[in-house]
Structure 1
Amino acid sequence: MGKILVTGATGNIGKYVVSELIKKGEAVKAAFFNVEKGELDCEKVQFDFLNKATFDDALRDVDRIFLVRPPQLADPKKDMRPFLEAVSAKGIKQVVFVSLLGVEKNPIVPHRKIEDMIREMAIPYTFLRPGFFMQNLSTTHQEEIRARDEIFVPVGKAKTSFIDTRDIGAVAAQCFVDEKHIFQSYTLTGNEAIDYYQVAKILSEVLGRNIDYKNPGLLKFRRETINRGVKKEFANVMTMLYLLTRMGTAEKVTDDLEKVLQRKPISFKQFACDHKSIWEKSKITV
């Protein structure tokens, strides 16, 4: 077997894909925009979706690819298609692509367009369609929880079937080592959908202090998010995603993850316990 190229190798999912594949004895090539900053214990290669000159080195000796779309690349036809054409020309055996929950019903989002291109080029695929990441609360929303004891999210009482990105990484790795997962699509969620009042309650119990779910209106959320230093473009994306959540699009629960891994998903309570130090008052963010 050849090597597995992991794009987004230091991201919320990619780093777990790398570690899980190494545990399984697979040869991993981790792709970095700046390879000098790569700290993973595997082969590293410089890679940029927008630079065709990096494709040959990245794909050398590779027969499988873990693919994630960098969020700043919003035009798949321009930004992603050249690389997929190189992948197709090389005869890659499998691409595991991190798509999006509900993408099969939404032809507008970039993830769906990438899925369509992969099918069009007849590239053997596995599509992973996860729901909201638990890690959004330990990254994007970390500071408001740590410093303000609040969750500032505009979704009302809508429920979300949160998934731990460690589980997504584990599923991706398993899909590479068993050919039965080729040409399959998996909708990945936790094993329950909870609202943000429940999220706040669990965090309060784990942290030993009260965390308040603020539940702002959508316009207030967008305005305050920008005021807190988030770029307008990203604030707009967040607002749209939470609008969709408010409409009930994030509450779906499936057992796809359990079928692949033969175990239950990581619970939100376990995630909170494992990441407790992230939200401690003494934690300094850089």
Structure 2
Amino acid sequence: MAGKPLVLVTGASGNIGAATVSVLAEKYADKVEIRAGARNPDKIPARPNVTVVKAVLGDKDQLKEPLKGVDVLYIVTPGAEDRASLTIRTAEAAKEAGVKFILVVSVPTVILPDTIFGKQLSEIEDKVSKLGIPYSFLRLPMFVENIWGSKDTIVSQSAFYAPQSPDKPAIYIAVEDAAKAGAAILANYSKHNGKGYTIQSDRYANAELAAAFTEALGKEVKFVQVPPEAAKQAMVGKGWPEWQVDGILELLKLIEEGAPVLTAGDDGQALKSLTGEEPTSMKAWVTKNAPGFK
């Protein structure tokens, strides 16, 4: 008996996975069955219309059980250094399990395979596109939410720091918008085979972000440009893996150079075409989240 397609979202305890499961449950429960998977399923929030399972990316034997009966798989590419092999093995397990469609999180710099993140994701996109299963890629730029990493200095010093010129704009995606786009693709997957979507919520420079915080918090918030070496030292000191820090600094260098892939943008048109909704503006995000920075 044909029922609703079964969607499995991996990484459902993380920001993107959890937000996507929420949108699926709230908006598309009449269209799809929802299964939420993570290495530690206890960390997945309980929700109506959602079945929680253990799903370990890259572990083909373990994945047999959570992939049973799954029609649509969303691989939220992990932040691990070996994420290419983890994601590819997961996609191969999906093929063996009879999955009909795979959506994979990628990055805009996939077109720059000489970069750290671009190399990892171009390998993933290449292998997934040759598996023989319908697929799509959701290419996410840097997150608006990254500014939470500067919460302490915004609170205590009324300032945030990065190795960028204050007036160099870049494209950003809000987690909520990424979740809406992913859920829309998963719920209507037959329309998206073979497509790659680079989506953005807004395009702005750090000086504009500082101005938005100044207005929302009622105090002057400054952006301070620092040398890349100082930024790296600070991030590694906070426990970030060095390879990931190098990858982020590489992105910031591309933005500084005005690389179109991270700075040109489309005024949110790709996102709007997927979701039918207006993207989240940076100013709206800051206004909504300002209480968390007080």
Using structure 2 for the length normalisation, give the TM-score.
Answer: 0.87
Match of 2:195 in 1: 184
Correspondences of 1:133-282 after superposition (within 5 Å)? 133-138=143-148, 140-156=149-165, 157-178=167-188, 179-190=190-201, 192-228=202-238, 230-249=240-259, 250-254=262-266, 255-280=269-294
1:99 to 106, 118, 125: 106
Map of 2:89 onto structure 1: 82
Contact 2:39 2:57 in 1 (8 A): no
Per the TM alignment, residue 230 of structure 1 is displaced from its structure 2 partner at its CA by: 4.1
Task: Name stretches of at least 5 consecutive residues in structure 1 with no aligned partner.
Answer: 281-286
| Cα distance change, pair 225–82 in 1 and its aligned pair in 2 (3 A) | closer
Instruction: Give the Å deviation of 1:231.
Output: 4.5
Identical positions, percent: 22
Tell me if structure 2 keeps the 8 A contact 1:12–1:135.
no
For structure 2, which runs of at least 5 residues remain unmatched after alignment? none
Deviation of the 1:154 alpha carbon: 0.8
Distance 1:207 1:67, change over 3 A: same
Q: Pick from 28, 32, 39: which aligns with 1:33?
A: 39
Q: Which of 260-269 and 237-246 deviates more?
A: 237-246
C-alpha distance in 2 between matches for 1:148 and 1:162 = 25
Q: Measure, in 2, the Cα distance between the counterparts of 1:170 and 1:211.
A: 31
**Counterpart contact for 1:189–1:252, Cα < 8 Å:** no
Change (3 A) 1:50 1:263: closer
Alignment partner of 2:55 out of 17, 38, 47: 47
In structure 1, the residue matched to 2:124 is 114
> Secondary structure of 1:97's partner?
strand
1:84-117 per-position Cα deviation (integer Å, ceiling 9, x unaligned): 2111122312111111013234365211211111
Cα distance in structure 2, aligned partners of 1:221 and 1:128: 28
Contact 1:126-1:185 at 8 Å conserved across structures: yes
In 2, the alpha carbon distance for the partners of 1:210 and 1:112 equals 42
Q: Specify the code of the residue in structure 1 equivalent to 2:144.
A: M
Report how many aligned residue pairs link the two structures. 277
TM superposition score normalised by structure 1 = 0.89
CA distance in 2, matches of 1:60, 1:242: 41
Q: Distance in 1 between matches of 2:122 and 2:183?
A: 22
* RMSD between superposed Cα atoms in Å: 1.9
CA contact (8 A) 2:13 2:43 kept: no
Q: Is the 8 A contact 1:103 1:112 kept in 2?
A: yes
Q: What whole-Å deviation, never above 9, does each CA across 1:230-279 have from its counterpart, x for those lacking one?
A: 44444333322222222223212121111122232110011112222221
Comparing 246-255 and 55-64, the one that deviates more = 246-255
